[in-house]
Structure 1
Amino acid sequence: MARTTAFCICAAVILTSGSTNGAEADRPKNHYSPYPQVANIESGVAWPAGQALPIFATPADRIDAISIQSLTIDEQIAFAALQGYVNRQQPRIYLQNARADEGRDTWAQTSTVALGPLNVFDYRDKYDLLAKYADEVDGLLLYDPSRNAHLRNLASTVAGLNRLLPVTSAMQAQLQRHGIELKVALDLTNLSLSSPLEVYEHLYNHYWEKCEKRLIISARPSRGGDFHHTRDMAAACGAAVVWLDCRVPDERALLEKFFGDMTAGKAIVLGWYATERSGITTASQFGIGTMPADHYVSSTLFSGGDHRIQIPAVPPKPPLANKAYIAIFISDGDNIQYTQHALRKIWDASASSRGQIPLNWTIAPGLVDIGPGILNYYYSTATPQDCFVAGPSGMGYAIPFNTLTEPGAAVGDYLTDPVRLDGYTRLTETYLQRAGLRAVTIWDNATPAQRASYAKNCRQLYGATVQNFKDVPSVASSIAEQRLPFDKLVIPYAGTYEHIHRSLRSKLKNWDGEAPLFLSYQVDIWGEMRPAKIVELAQQLNREFPDKIEFVRADHYFNLANESHRLPFNLAMSPLTKISAGQAADLAQQAIDGTPVTLWSCSDPDAAWLQLDFGAAYRINRYVIRHAGASGMQQAQNTRAFTLQASLDGAKWSTIDAYKGNVENVTDVEMQPVVARYLRVTIDDLGADGRASIADIEVYGSRQP
C-alpha cells in the first residue's frame, strides 16, 4: 500500500482552556444520513425512493410449497407468475428446490426466516394449488414457445403488466380438465418473431414504457435456463424479463437501450448473462449493478419477514505492531444464489474452522431487501473472527474497469459518466449502511475518478480491494481523498493452497521488517481454499514465520493500514480507547462496539454524557454518531441534540461542535482538525420516552509524529 504524508489542508487546532472551534449555531453543518427507515409490513409491498428492491410482507402462518422438480418448464413460468401476484399481497407460495445444496427444508426451518408449516403439494395435485389462487389473477395470456423460446420472456413481461397467468395451449387444457375456467385475455400465439432481437424490439416498442424502470430481470428462456428464478419478482413488480447476448453487437445495443432508460442509483438487474463480463460491463456503463440470481429461489417469499438487520458487534482491532498483516477475502458473496445455497452448506460445515482465524466473507448488500432472513442467519451465527464485506463492487456486481479481455468485454474503463458513477456509489453507501458492511471488493480496477467517487459517497467504507487478472499497469494501491485505502490484491481468486502459500512465503521472505507490511488475498470458494484450508495455511505460516505475521479482519486491516501511514482511522476501534458514562457505565461500551443494534441510554439529564479516552493525543478530523433508530431496531428518539467537547488532559475542555434541531438518524461531520486525547458527547435533550440514547460513535484521528 502506498505511503503518504499529506493531510487535510485545514491546520490542526491545539486545544487550550476556553478555546472554541466551530460551535457557532449558524455555521454550516456537514450532515450525512443515508439510512432509509426500515419497514416491516403486514400486507402489500414497500418500495420507497432510495430502496433498490421492494420488500414484502410477513409471510402467512402457513405456506403452500410446491417442488420445482414437479413442474415442466412452462409450468414453472406460470407458477412463478402466480407466486408473484399472490406474494405481493402476502407471501403464501414457496416454489421449493427439492435438490438444493443446503437441503430442501433448511431455510424454512431457520428461525431468522421464520416460515410456518409448509403445505407441500406434490406432482399429482399441483393444479389444485393453482385453483386455490385462481381468483387472484385476471385471466390467461396464451403463448407458444415452440416458435421461439424468447417468447417465454415476452409472455412473462406482458402477463406481469396485466396480472395474467402466462400459459401454453397444453397448460390451458390442463386448467380446463381441473375445472379452472379462466378466460384468455391476451393471445400472443400469432406473433411471428423469429429471433431474440425481434422479440425484445417488440417488447421495447410495445410494453417497455409501462414496465417498472427500477428493476429488470435477465433470464435465459431456453432449455437449461431460468424459468422461475426471480420471475416471481418480475410478476410482482411489473418488470421486464429479457435475455440478450452482449457478445452480439445488435443485441448488446438493444440491451443498452433498456439500460439507458433506467437511472443509476435507482435501478438493479436480477439474473445473469450469456457471459459474465460481456453482461456485467454492459450494465456497468450505466452505473447499474447486477445481483446474480439465476438460481435464487422464491425471491418474493424471502423478501418478506423482519427486515431489521442484526449487524454483529466488531471486536477491537489489535494494536499496531511491526508485523505483516494478512487479510483473506472469500468469494463469491455478491451472488445471492450462492448465499442461499452453496454458502449455507459451506458455512455450516465449517463451524469448527470458523473462529480460529479471521476470515473475510463477501456478501451481497442487497440481501437486506431480497433475503434479510438469509443475511441475519449468517450474522447471528458468525464468530467475532468472521467479518463480512461487500462483494464486487458494491450494491450489485459491477466492473468499473475491466482487466480481462473476453468476447464482448475489452480491457478498459466502463463506468465513465460522473453522474452514473455517483449514482452507483451513493446507492452502494445506503446498502453498506443498512447491511453494516465496512469494506468492498472491487472487480476489477477503479480509476482515480472512480476511487474519488467511492471516497466521496461511501462514507461507511474503511477500505476497498482492487484486482488485476492480466497485469494492467494502472491497477495499484492508493489512498483516495486522504482517507480511503484501495489495496491491490496480491492474488485475485486464488484457487489452490500451493499458489497462495508460495506467494506469501515469497512476500514474507523479502520483507525488510522495517515497517508493518499489509498483504491482501482473495480465494476462490469453488476451489480447495475452504475455511479449513485457510486455517491450515495460517498455521503453516505461523510455524515458518513465528511472531511476525497476523491474520486480520478486513475492518481491522484497513484501520491498521491507515494508522501505520498516519492517516485517519477509527479510534473507537482501538484497544487503547476507554469509554465512560455519567450513567449506565456498564453499557457505555455498546456505544463503541461497531453496531447500531446495541444502545447506551440513560434517564438522568445531568448524567447524559459519554466520554472517550484514546490513550494518547490524536489529530481528530471527523466523528460519526448513530442515534437511536439508526438501525431500525429502535424507534427514533428525539435525543439528537448534543454538544461535543475535546480535551488534552481530561480537565480543561473546549466545545468543538453542537447540534440542535437535528432530525437525522446519523450525524457524520468532517471538521476542522483538533489535537485531543479525550472527547465527550453530552446529550442536550432527552427523548420522548425520557431517555438519552446513542447507538454508536466513531471518531477518526491520525497519529501524531
Structure 2
Amino acid sequence: MIRKLTAISLAIVSTLSFTAAGSYADPQPAAQGSAISWPDKQQLPTFKQPKQLEVADIYDAPGDVKLMLSTLQGIVNRKEPRIYLLESKEEGKFKWLNDLDVDYKVRDDHFDLLKKFQKEVKGIIIYDPNVPDSVNVATTLAGLRDGVAVSPELAAKLEAAPYNFKVIEDLQGKFKDRVDAYTWEYENLWKETSHRMLVGLSPEVSARPPANQPDTYKVVAQEQTEERDAKNRKVYDLDLSSFLAKPDVYVKFGDAFTQDGWGSAVHEISVKADGVEIAHFLPGTDAEKPYLYDPQGSQVSSGSGGHRFADGGNYFTYKFTAPAGTKALTMSVEMWNEYKVSATNDQPFSSLTKEPYGYLRDYAVANKAMVFWLDSNDPAEKELFEKILSDVKPGTPYLGWFSNDFQGEFSGVEVASNHGVYVLAADWFSNMTVFSGTKPEFSKPKAPKPVKLDNKIYVTYTFSEGDNLQYNQHRLRNLWDDPKRGQVPINWTSSPLLYDAAPAMLNYFYGTATANDQIIAGPSGAGYFYPAAWPEKALTDYLDNTKDYLKKTGMNIPYVLNRLNGENLPLSKANNAAYRDQYDVPGLFIGWDNFTKVDIVDGVPTSNIQGVGSVNDTKKALADAKAKWDGKSPLFVSLGILAWGMTPTDLAGVTAQLGPEYQVVLADQYFSLIREANGLPEKK
C-alpha cells in the first residue's frame, strides 16, 4: 500500500561525496555514487533525504533473510535512502515511519525488494553457519564489495534464476573460530574500511520461540518481597514430583521483580529421585554442564562462594532426567534474592537456537565500516580489539555493544576509553541510514521558571539509559508516550548525537515536550566513555570538539559515568576542570550509586545519582532522605530512575504522596538552587 503521511518533515541534506576521513592508517574513498556527507568535525555522517521508501516487515522473517535485507539496505541507501525495514514492534512497527513525511509502499514479499534493486547488487557473500562470526566478516565484505550477505541455503536460491547472482566470496571453511575470523578481517579488509567509525555487533541472537508454543511452566517457589542483600539466602527444598508425567523435568530460575534487576542467585543444587541423588553441582563448574539446558542471559559470579544469577527478563534452565518408575523427585537449592522458580515436563524452546539479524548492519554497510565482536575480558580477543582501537584517532565512535552484559559493558567501555574511543549503544537501532537523512527542525526549550530557595528537600528525577541510541528509538518512545508524562518534573537522558544519527527523533521529543520535561546529555556527554580511563590530554580536545552538540541540542547538563575496574569513581580535578571549562556546565550528575550527595568541586556542583529500580525503592530513598534531614537548610536529592523498570505514571503516583517538605524540580532548577545555596554565581 502507498500512504502519504504528514508529521515531521525531512529536508534535503548536502550531498558531498563520502570519503572515510583521516585516521592513523590512510582511509579508503567510498564507492562512486555515494551521497553521504561527513565533514571533518561532524561526529556521524549525514545521508541524503529519502523521497519514497520501500518497506518490508521482517519482524517474523528468518534470520538469514533479515541479514540479507539489511545488507541490501546498506548498499541501496548509501546512494539514497529507499529501503525501510520493520524489525521491532516494541514502540509500534509504524510509529516512527508514520512520523516521517514521506511516501512509502509496504512490500508483502521480502524478495520483491531484492528484485527491485537487483542491478545495484554485484553478487553474494556466503557466511559459514559453523563459524557464526563469519556473519560479521560477510557484513564488512558486503559494504566493500556491494554484495548481500547470505546463508548457504539462500545462496542456492540467489545463484539460480531469476537472480543469477555471482558468488563474490564464500566464507565456508575459511575460519576455524572467532579470533581467526577477525584476524583475517583485520589483516585483509581493515585497510579498505572507514576508520572514522567502528561497529561492534553480535553475529547472532537467540531466535524467538514459535508463536504457537504454549508456556506450560508452573511456579514452584517465588520470593514475595524485594530482596537485594541475600538475607533470604538458605537451602530451599522443592517437590518436583508432580512433573514426572514425562522423564525429563525442566526447572527455570528467573526474576520475581523484573523491574529492579535482583533476580535468582543460585549457589548449589542437589536433585534426588526417590531419595537417591541423581544430580549435585555448583553453578559455573564442570559438574553443572550436563544439566544446564539453557543459560539464556544468566551469568556466573565468583562472589558469595560462586553462583549463577539472572536479573530482569533473563533466566536459566536446568534439565533433570528421572529414572524410570521414579515416584518422588525433589530438589534442594541454595539460593537468595528475588528468585522465581518454575518447572515443566514439556521441552521448552531454548535461547541457544541462534540466528543472524539486521538492525545496525545497514549503517555499517553504507559507511563501509568494519564489523566485529570481540570480548575485552578474553585475553586473545582483547589483544586484537586493542590493536583495532589503536589504529583510529581519539574521538572515534564505536557503535554497537559488547558481550557479557554488565561485565562486557564495564570492561569494553573502559578499554575503548583507554584509546580515546567513545561508545554509542546502537546494536538494536533500525534504519539509521534513513533517520540520518532527516533534518533537525526543533526549537531548543526555554529555561524552566526559577524556583525560590527554601528549607525543603529538593528532588530531581533522572531516567537512565541516555547513552543508548536504540533506547531513544524503542523504550524512550514508549515512556514518552505515557499519558501521565508532564504531571511531574522529569529529566530525560539522551544522546546529543541524535542530532546526526536521527534528527527526526529529536524533533519528535522536543516537539511534544511539556514544561515538566528536560532532556539532558546521557553518559558521559556526547558519547559514552569513562573520563578516568580516557587519555587525560585528549579529553579536553574531545570535549571541545563535541561541545557544540550539547549547545545545539539544548542538553546543557551532562550525566557522567566514571569507572575503573567496574567501580564508580569521582572525577579527578583535571577531568572536572575539563567539563567545567569546555562544556561550561551549571552542574554535573555523576554515578549510579546507593546514595545521593552534592559536592562542590572547583566551582562545579556535582550530584551523585542514587539509582532506584521500583516504586518501593523510590519511596524508601525519599523517606531515608527525610529521616536524615535536619530541616534547617535545603537538602538536595538526585534519584536515577531505571528506565527498564519504571514509568512516568509510577513517578506521578510517588510524587502525589509526598508532603509539602518535598519539591520535585528539573535539572536546571536543581543546580540553580544548589549554586544559590552555596554562594556560587548563577549560570545562564
Q: Which deviates more, 234-243 or 272-281?
A: 272-281
Given that 1:156 and 1:231 are in contact with CA atoms closer than 8 Å, whether structure 2 keeps it comes out as: yes
Matched, 1:201 2:183: yes
Q: Which residue is 1:419 aligned to? A: 537
Normalization by structure 1: what TM-score?
0.67
Matched, 1:101 2:90: yes
Q: Aligned partners of 1:555 and 1:292: how far apart in 2?
A: 26
Shift in Å, 1:42: 6.4
Shift in Å, 1:266: 3.7
Q: 1:479 aligns with which of 573, 585, 600?
A: 600
Matched, 1:217 2:182: no
Given that 1:219 and 1:226 are in contact with CA atoms closer than 8 Å, whether structure 2 keeps it comes out as: no
Q: How does 1:348-367 map to 2 (within 5 A)?
A: 348=481, 350-351=482-483, 353-367=484-498
Q: Which residue is 2:131 aligned to? A: 148
SS in 1 for 2:633: coil
Q: Which residue is 2:625 aligned to? A: 507
Matched, 1:312 2:445: yes
Q: Which residue is 1:526 aligned to? A: 644
Q: 1:115 aligns with which of 85, 102, 110?
A: 102
Q: CA RMSD for the aligned pairs?
A: 2.3
Q: Equivalent pairs: percent with the same residue?
A: 32
Q: How does 1:225-244 map to 2 (within 5 A)?
A: 227-244=357-374
Q: 1:179 aligns with which of 154, 162, 174?
A: 162
Q: Which residue is 2:524 aligned to? A: 393
SS in 2 for 1:45: coil
One-letter amino acid matched to 1:387 = Q
Q: Aligned in 2, Cα 1:381/1:226: closer, same or farther, shift over 3 Å?
A: farther
Q: Which residue is 1:68 aligned to? A: 58
User: CA offsets per residue over residues 538-593 of structure 1, 9 Å max, x none?
Assistant: 22222xxx2x32111101111221122121223xxxxxxxxxxxxxxxxxxxxxxx
Q: Aligned partners of 2:494 and 2:193: how far apart in 1?
A: 29
Q: Aligned partners of 1:480 and 1:48: how far apart in 2?
A: 36
Q: Aligned in 2, Cα 1:135/1:481: closer, same or farther, shift over 3 Å?
A: farther
Given that 1:42 and 1:58 are in contact with CA atoms closer than 8 Å, whether structure 2 keeps it comes out as: no
Q: Which deviates more, 169-178 or 368-377?
A: 169-178
User: CA offsets per residue over residues 51-87 of structure 1, 9 Å max, x none?
Assistant: 1111112111x21011223533223222212111211
Q: Aligned in 2, Cα 1:199/1:469: closer, same or farther, shift over 3 Å?
A: farther
Q: Which residue is 2:41 aligned to? A: 50
Q: Aligned partners of 2:152 and 2:117: how far apart in 1?
A: 20
One-letter amino acid matched to 2:528 = Y
Q: Which residue is 1:690 aligned to? A: none
Matched, 1:165 2:148: yes
Matched, 1:451 2:571: no
Q: How does 1:19-30 map to 2 (within 5 A)?
A: none
Q: 1:538 aligns with which of 631, 655, 665?
A: 655
One-letter amino acid matched to 1:188 = L
Q: Aligned partners of 1:160 and 1:295: how far apart in 2?
A: 19
Shift in Å, 1:162: 2.5
Q: Aligned partners of 2:160 and 2:13: how far apart in 1?
A: 41
Q: Aligned partners of 1:272 and 1:372: how far apart in 2?
A: 26
Shift in Å, 1:196: 0.9
One-letter amino acid matched to 2:557 = A
Given that 2:12 and 2:49 are in contact with CA atoms closer than 8 Å, whether structure 1 keeps it comes out as: no
Q: Which residue is 1:686 aligned to? A: none
SS in 1 for 2:169: strand
SS in 2 for 1:394: coil
One-letter amino acid matched to 1:533 = D
Q: Which residue is 1:132 aligned to? A: 116
One-letter amino acid matched to 1:447 = S
Q: 1:188 aligns with which of 171, 178, 189?
A: 171
Given that 2:417 and 2:533 are in contact with CA atoms closer than 8 Å, whether structure 1 keeps it comes out as: yes
Q: Aligned in 2, Cα 1:356/1:161: closer, same or farther, shift over 3 Å?
A: same
One-letter amino acid matched to 1:91 = P
Instruction: Give the number of aligned pairs.
Output: 498
Q: Aligned in 2, Cα 1:272/1:120: closer, same or farther, shift over 3 Å?
A: farther
Given that 2:613 and 2:642 are in contact with CA atoms closer than 8 Å, whether structure 1 keeps it comes out as: yes
Q: Aligned in 2, Cα 1:497/1:70: closer, same or farther, shift over 3 Å?
A: closer
Shift in Å, 1:278: 2.4
One-letter amino acid matched to 2:458 = Y
Q: Which residue is 2:513 aligned to? A: 382
Q: How does 1:335-354 map to 2 (within 5 A)?
A: 335-348=468-481, 350-351=482-483, 353-354=484-485
Shift in Å, 1:420: 3.2
Q: Which deviates more, 274-283 or 264-273?
A: 264-273
Shift in Å, 1:45: 1.7
Q: Aligned in 2, Cα 1:354/1:476: closer, same or farther, shift over 3 Å?
A: closer
Q: Aligned partners of 2:188 and 2:138: how far apart in 1?
A: 13
SS in 2 for 1:520: strand
Shift in Å, 1:226: 6.0
Shift in Å, 1:376: 1.3
SS in 2 for 1:454: helix
Q: Aligned partners of 1:517 and 1:129: how far apart in 2?
A: 59
Given that 1:65 and 1:120 are in contact with CA atoms closer than 8 Å, whether structure 2 keeps it comes out as: yes
Shift in Å, 1:312: 2.1
Q: Aligned partners of 2:443 and 2:387: how far apart in 1?
A: 39
Shift in Å, 1:360: 0.7
SS in 1 for 2:380: helix
Q: Aligned partners of 1:378 and 1:430: how far apart in 2?
A: 19
Q: Which deviates more, 322-331 or 424-433?
A: 424-433
SS in 2 for 1:142: strand
Shift in Å, 1:476: 6.9
Matched, 1:372 2:503: yes
SS in 1 for 2:96: coil
One-letter amino acid matched to 2:85 = L
User: CA offsets per residue over residues 495-514 of structure 1, 9 Å max, x none?
Assistant: 12222222222322332233
User: CA offsets per residue over residues 684-704 of structure 1, 9 Å max, x none?
Assistant: xxxxxxxxxxxxxx4xxxxxx
One-letter amino acid matched to 2:533 = Y
Q: 1:558 aligns with which of 653, 664, 671?
A: 671
Shift in Å, 1:178: 4.6
Q: Aligned in 2, Cα 1:66/1:320: closer, same or farther, shift over 3 Å?
A: same
Q: Aligned partners of 2:55 and 2:364: how far apart in 1?
A: 20
SS in 1 for 2:528: coil
Q: Aligned partners of 1:555 and 1:178: how far apart in 2?
A: 63
Shift in Å, 1:377: 0.7
Given that 1:232 and 1:300 are in contact with CA atoms closer than 8 Å, whether structure 2 keeps it comes out as: yes
Q: Aligned partners of 2:168 and 2:127: how far apart in 1?
A: 15
Q: Which residue is 1:321 aligned to? A: 454
Normalization by structure 2: what TM-score?
0.69
Q: Aligned partners of 1:154 and 1:336: how far apart in 2?
A: 24
Q: Aligned partners of 2:148 and 2:402: how far apart in 1?
A: 24
Q: Aligned partners of 1:226 and 1:335: how far apart in 2?
A: 22
SS in 2 for 1:268: strand
SS in 2 for 1:467: strand
One-letter amino acid matched to 2:446 = A
Q: Which residue is 1:463 aligned to? A: 587
User: CA offsets per residue over residues 175-195 of structure 1, 9 Å max, x none?
Assistant: 24451233333343352x211
Q: How does 1:646-685 map to 2 (within 5 A)?
A: none
Q: Aligned partners of 1:220 and 1:339: how far apart in 2?
A: 20
Q: Aligned in 2, Cα 1:310/1:174: closer, same or farther, shift over 3 Å?
A: farther
